[in-house]
Amino acid sequence: MSMEFYTLGNSGLKVTRLALGTMTFGTEWGWGADKDAAWAIFNAYVDAGGNFFDTADAYTDGTSETWLGEFIAERGLRDDAVIATKFTMNLTARTPNSAGNGRKNILRAVEGSLKRLNTDHIDLYLLHCWDRLTPPEEVMRTFDDLVRSGKVRHVGLSDVPAWYASRAQAVAEHRGYEPISVLQLEYSLAERNIENEFVPFGTRYGAGIMAWSPLASGLLSGKYRPSGKGEISGRLETLRGSTNPGFQKFNERNWAIVAALEKVASELGRSMAQVAVNWVTTQPGIASIIVGATRLEQLRDNLGALDFVIPAELRRRLDDVSALQPTFPYSFFGPEIQGSLTGGQTVGGKPAGYYPDLNISGSFAGVS
């Protein structure tokens, strides 16, 4: 495995491209790994050179954070490990202020995470999901207080609207608060919607995108079949009928993607999971990819995802089958409309290396 280090967004923190997701550490939710399996997965990741761990206060009712803290201590890795954890979703909350993104809950949640992780600081603290209520000013000021107090090193946002992230970053910039270093969002061949807003936002304003569910919760490993109900065990089978939008993956569009991916993987002599993770990692604006596993063999498979290049013709097939449908207003940013905004002249945008997608004389992502 190639474990290159990258900086976390515009910060000076160095992280490996593949982060280890620990949402599967613990059996509380019915589809995770027991402690022995989680320990084996953790060790395989560390031994391969990985340094970036993702968890959340809500995962497996706190077991994920607790085991991660224990494992890091057991290997004596606290100084080397980069720990990301999140607040918002307190699944045992019984009162309105013991969940969500208000200052009162953030300050409650951070103490619980520090305790379970058995550490005095969190390297990357993330808002887990927009609560539709708390203004970005309150979140960014609270984040900044936590950084200044030494409890948190860097901050990020997960699962928020792009306008909210943009406002939060502008508030941080203009008020001198700690800026957002990371946007953590779902991204895979089966879920490409972040390309419209978040990739341009992240690349312009210094937030690295950390992609979650690169295998669409296991769908892109190829283990599920359109007619395969009940034939295979796995998270998506266990959660059939779930109302969580992240777990609703069985549909015609995704079966077409799985079929194309299967052919490409076979031509490359690679597993479908490796090709799917490789594709995400090499997409524009993607900084880190969070791989998850319930079994050691799965993690070993996924750790081999960066050892090869997907040739252009095979990549085009994957791009085409999974392409976003042009929707408004993005349909107005292609050459058909934009060409009329430059007096008929070719305007090359910035020199090489600056925002390449701004080159309005060329073709646009998703619009040819």
Ligand X SMILES: NC(=O)c1ccc[n+]([C@@H]2O[C@H](COP(=O)([O-])OP(=O)(O)OC[C@H]3O[C@@H](n4cnc5c(N)ncnc54)[C@H](OP(=O)(O)O)[C@@H]3O)[C@@H](O)[C@H]2O)c1
Count of Cβ atoms closer than 10 Å to residue 251 Cβ: 11
**191 φ/ψ angles, rounded to the nearest 5 degrees:** -145, 95
Q: For strand 286-291 and strand 18-21, is the pairing parallel, antiparallel, or unpaired?
A: parallel
Residue 191 per-residue DSSP state: B
The β-bridge partners of 46 are none
- Closest to ligand X by CB, 54 or 65: 54
Q: Are 116 and 155 in contact (CB under 8 A)?
A: no
Q: Which one of 59, 125, 177, 224 is the catalytic residue?
A: 59
> Is position 26 an interface residue for ligand X (rule: CB under 6 A)?
no
Residue 271 per-residue DSSP state: -
Distance in Å, CB of 242 to ligand X, minimum: 13
- Closest to ligand X by CB, 12 or 30: 30
> Is position 223 an interface residue for ligand X (rule: CB under 6 A)?
yes
Identify the residue among 60, 158, 166, 322 touching ligand X (CB under 6 A).
158
> Is position 208 an interface residue for ligand X (rule: CB under 6 A)?
no
Q: Exposure string (b/e) for 94-115, b if CB count within 10 Å is 16 or more?
A: eeeeebbbbeebbebbbeebbe
Residue 323 per-residue DSSP state: P
CA 324 to chain centre: 19
Q: Are 52 and 13 in contact (CB under 8 A)?
A: no
Is 59 a residue of the active site? yes
Q: What is the DSSP string of 324-346?
A: PPP-TTGGGGSHHHHGGGTTT--
Residues 50-79 that bind ligand X (CB under 6 A): 54
> Is position 214 an interface residue for ligand X (rule: CB under 6 A)?
yes
Distance in Å, CB of 357 to ligand X, minimum: 25
- Burial class, 165, CB count within 10 angstroms (exposed 0-12 / middle 13-18 / buried 19+): buried
* Interface segment toward ligand X; rule CB under 6 A; list 38-46, 91-99, 210-218, 260-268: 210-218
* Interface segment toward ligand X; rule CB under 6 A; list 173-181, 249-257, 293-301, 356-364: 293-301
Q: Where are the beta strands (DSSP E) in 171-255?
A: 180-186, 208-212
Identify the residue among 160, 209, 216, 261 touching ligand X (CB under 6 A).
216
CA distances for 356 relative to 79, 259, 344, 351, 363, angstroms: 37, 32, 20, 8, 11
Of the chain, the end-to-end C-alpha distance in Å amounts to: 35
* Interface segment toward ligand X; rule CB under 6 A; list 109-117, 132-140, 218-226, 332-340: 218-226
Identify the residue among 9, 13, 16, 22 touching ligand X (CB under 6 A).
22
Site mask for ligand X (CB under 6 A), range 299-318, x = bound:
--xx----------------
Question: CA 143 to CA 176: how far, in whole Å?
Answer: 12
Distance in Å, CB of 351 to ligand X, minimum: 35
Identify the residue among 16, 24, 113, 169 touching ligand X (CB under 6 A).
24
Q: For strand 52-54 and strand 82-87, is the pairing parallel, antiparallel, or unpaired?
A: parallel
> Is position 11 an interface residue for ligand X (rule: CB under 6 A)?
no
Nearest to 72 by CA among 34, 28, 116: 116
> Is position 8 an interface residue for ligand X (rule: CB under 6 A)?
no
* Interface segment toward ligand X; rule CB under 6 A; list 19-27, 104-112, 164-172, 310-318: 19-27
> Is position 278 an interface residue for ligand X (rule: CB under 6 A)?
no
* Interface segment toward ligand X; rule CB under 6 A; list 141-149, 206-214, 317-325, 338-346: 206-214
> Is position 218 an interface residue for ligand X (rule: CB under 6 A)?
yes
> Is position 184 an interface residue for ligand X (rule: CB under 6 A)?
yes
Distance in Å, CB of 56 to ligand X, minimum: 7
Question: CA 181 to CA 202: how far, in whole Å?
Answer: 9
> Is position 41 an interface residue for ligand X (rule: CB under 6 A)?
no
Active site residues: 59
Q: Which chain residues interact with ligand X by CB under 6 A?
A: 21-24, 31, 54, 128, 158-159, 184, 212-218, 221, 223, 234-235, 246, 273, 290-294, 298, 301-302
